[in-house]
A and B are shown apart, each in its own frame.
Chain A
Amino acid sequence: MQEIIIKNLMAQLDLERDAIKPESRFVEDFSMDSLDMVEMLIDLEKETGIKVPVEEVGDIHTVGELIKHLEGKQA
């Protein structure tokens, strides 16, 4: 899951791999807004089949939290 998320973020935000860490914060470190978050989740849903409803976006602040959230849904 971590690998999928990192690859998606690299493509979406044009980031280097080293810039993406579990503790990276979407808003503060990547300057992502709510639509960027939705865009990321649409991409991840396409790839993993795991849907994250819009109302759950507010609970996810870091890359690590996203990995945990998706792994929790996958289980």
Chain B
Amino acid sequence: MLANVTIAGVASSIPEKVVTNTELESLVETSDEWITKRTGIRTRHVAVGETAVGMAADSAAKALAMSGVLRESVGLIVACTITGEDLTPSMASSVQKALGIQNCAAFDVSAGCTGFIYALVAAASLMETLGAEAAIVVASEAMSRFTDWNDRSTCVLFGDGAGAVVLRRSETARVLYPILSATPDTNDVIVLRKDSRSTPFSPARNTATEYIRMKGADVFTYAVGVLEDTLKRLSAFCADKPFTKVIPHQANEKIIDYVMRTMNMGRDAFFLNIASYANTSSATIPIALCDAWEAGWLRQGDRVALAGFGSGLTSGGVVIDWDLPDKP
């Protein structure tokens, strides 16, 4: 059961360096036209000095400052990442340290690109269980470090960045209708394997540094199916007060275009910023949430659906009654 919570703060942290499609032409056989037509991506931000943990802490600190929630009131930090620098401590623990929060629960969630939805639902549920007054949910990815820059089919797709929200208890529930789902990836359509080190008792399975691998057509088929299904289920849940806006995981504009068409929803109902950031995995939704609010697209009183899908194969969605005052 979710606690009655509202989103009280939102922020993002984006690496300074921008890499254009044209710049990628010098790395692999591709073109700006090819990438734009097939993905909707024009640029991506790539971490140079930044780290996934650092971006997580930066976005979380900004969201907390914006929310007005005191550090002592934060009872929980849930981070999600597939590209964090450390296996331990968790990214959430590193964010806790960076923010100087002395006592709270902190842990990471790994659910591929659906990570933020999983983390958001986990946080809102645990706030009820733990009696927490506020929670930080942060997604941060340094995808560029796990991207094969010689593979033209994947290197054009990803970018780096982080986004965070602060959840605060409220009289009315404003995070609603959680859906979390997963189906076995029997065909290994999205995989990022860790290297395995040898021990005195077993040889290493693979000592090479691995990169993210995807089977594009299979991913597309999975993505359009679950995105449409998630949005239809969310629609059914809130038939009395339908959502009018959607912030989907930004993996490929074609996936979103397809669902717009099959859901018979207009383009203005979907927020897209994939052109600027590419696919930042679990961070796309909170970054988009932040951009949508800052751009004035997301207004106080809006009912917005968040929907994601990713490796696992995971998927999920949630409805938000947006309550932050409009950006001046």
A54 is an interface residue with CB less than 8 A from chain B: yes
B237 is an interface residue with CB less than 8 A from chain A: no
Taking a contact as CB atoms under 8 Å apart, the answer to whether A34 and B216 are in contact is yes
Taking a contact as CB atoms under 8 Å apart, the answer to whether B217 and A33 are in contact is no
Of B81-89, B131-139, B220-228, the one contacting chain A is B220-228
Which of A11, A12, A38 lies in contact with B221, CB distance below 8 A? Answer: A38
Q: Spell out A's residues near B (CB within 8 Å).
A: 11-12, 33-39, 42, 54, 57
Taking a contact as CB atoms under 8 Å apart, the answer to whether B225 and A35 are in contact is no
Contact status of A42 and B38, CB under 8 A, knowing A35-B254, A54-B218: no
- The A-B contact count (CB < 8 A) is 30
A sample of 7 more A-B contacts (CB under 8 A), given A35-B220, A42-B258, is: A11-B261, A33-B37, A35-B252, A36-B254, A39-B224, A42-B225, A54-B217
Complex Cα spacing A54 to B214, Å: 14
- Considering the complex, give the chain A residue whose CB is closest to the CB of B257: A39
Complex Cα spacing A6 to B151, Å: 35
Complex Cα spacing A33 to B153, Å: 13
Taking a contact as CB atoms under 8 Å apart, the answer to whether B217 and A38 are in contact is yes
Q: Spell out B's residues near A (CB within 8 Å).
A: 37-38, 215-218, 220-221, 224-225, 252, 254, 258, 261
A11 → B minimal CB distance (Å) = 8
Complex Cα spacing A12 to B258, Å: 9
Taking a contact as CB atoms under 8 Å apart, the answer to whether A35 and B218 are in contact is no
Taking a contact as CB atoms under 8 Å apart, the answer to whether A54 and B221 are in contact is yes
Complex Cα spacing A11 to B257, Å: 13
Which residues on A sit within 8 Å (CB–CB) of B216? 34-35
B141 → A minimal CB distance (Å) = 23
- Considering the complex, give the chain B residue whose CB is closest to the CB of A36: B254
B36 → A minimal CB distance (Å) = 12
Complex Cα spacing A57 to B217, Å: 10
Taking a contact as CB atoms under 8 Å apart, the answer to whether A33 and B38 are in contact is yes
Which residues on B sit within 8 Å (CB–CB) of A39? 220, 224, 254, 258
- Considering the complex, give the chain A residue whose CB is closest to the CB of B215: A54
Which residues on A sit within 8 Å (CB–CB) of B252? 35
A42 → B minimal CB distance (Å) = 6
B111 → A minimal CB distance (Å) = 24
Taking a contact as CB atoms under 8 Å apart, the answer to whether A42 and B217 are in contact is no
Complex Cα spacing A28 to B302, Å: 44
Complex Cα spacing A39 to B258, Å: 8
Which of B215, B220, B261 is packed against the most chain A CB atoms within 10 Å? B220
Complex Cα spacing A59 to B320, Å: 45
- 19 A-B residue pairs with CB within 8 Å: A11-B261, A12-B261, A33-B37, A34-B216, A34-B217, A35-B38, A35-B216, A35-B252, A35-B254, A36-B254, A38-B217, A38-B220, A39-B220, A39-B258, A42-B221, A42-B224, A54-B217, A54-B218, A57-B217
